[in-house]
Structure 1
């Protein structure tokens, strides 16, 4: 059995990581999520790497992204987006970000820098949706200057 706190704090080699992933994939969905969640709370970088490879169900990936949008800062929010993109897809991630525009503008603001870069190889339709989101944000929040880097509101 692996300890999520030990995993979060130690560097492990690829052999150890493969053993961890093999063990993790044998767990039921809730146990797998609990392990990954504990790693995320101690070490977001390690946790996000684990999210990508642990085969979590979409509902858990949505929880992880929602958490990352609130508690990630302008740099680390990209880790969360990259971690869940393979499992949720580009469209769902964008929908979740857009859903925050009226209730949690800081969550959206932190993603605006990363969205064009993360979606650079996607369809024109998705790229256009990003452009529209950026324009809508700028119209709703002209000269937006948050005083905090995490949370939901400036």
Structure 2
């Protein structure tokens, strides 16, 4: 059995990482999520890497993305998005980000730099949705200058 805090603090070689992921995938969904969540809280980078490999159900990936949108800063929000992108899909991730437009503009603002890059190999329709999101954000918040890098509001 592995300990999430020890995992977050220690370096592991590839063999150890693979053993942990194999063990993790055998757990019940709630146990798997709890382990990953504890790692995320102790070490964001390792937690995001583990999220990508843990095969969590979409509902748990959505919770992880929501946390990342709020607590990730402008540079680390990319980690959170990448962590869930494969499991949720590009369209669902974009829908979740868009849902924050009116209630948490800082969450959207932090993603605007990364979205074109993360969606560069996607369909023209998705690329147009990102462009539309950028335009809508700039119209609603023309001179947006956040005073904080994390949270939901400037």
When normalised by structure 1's length, the TM-score is: 0.99
Structure 2 segments unaligned to the other structure (5+ residues) = none
Query: 2-side partners of 1:131 and 1:66: how far apart?
Result: 22
How far apart in 1 are the matches of 2:73 and 2:11? 24
1:143 positional shift? 1.1
Which residue of the partner structure matches residue 72 of structure 2? 72
1:58 counterpart = 2:58: yes
Partner of 1:112: 112
Structure 2 counterpart of 1:82: 82
Match of 2:149 in 1: 149
Q: Does 1:8 align with 2:4?
A: no
Correspondence for 2:96: 96
List per-residue Cα deviations over 1:83-110 (Å, max 9, x = no partner). 1000000000000000000000000000
Distance in 2 of aligned mates of 1:25 and 1:81: 21
Deviations 1:118-154 (A, max 9, x none): 0000000000000000000000001100000000000
CA distance in 2, matches of 1:128, 1:70: 25
For 2:115 and 2:92, how far apart are their aligned partners in 1?
Answer: 13
CA-to-partner distance for each residue in 1:47-92, whole Å, 9 max, x for gaps? 0000000000000000000000000000110001001000000000
Over 2 Å off, 4+ runs: none
Q: How does 1:18-29 map to 2 (within 5 A)?
A: 18-29=18-29
Distance 2:10 2:140 in 1: 44
CA distance in 2 between partners of 1:9 and 1:74 (Å): 24
Name the SS for the 1:145 alignment partner.
coil
Tell me the C-alpha RMSD between the 2 structures. 0.3
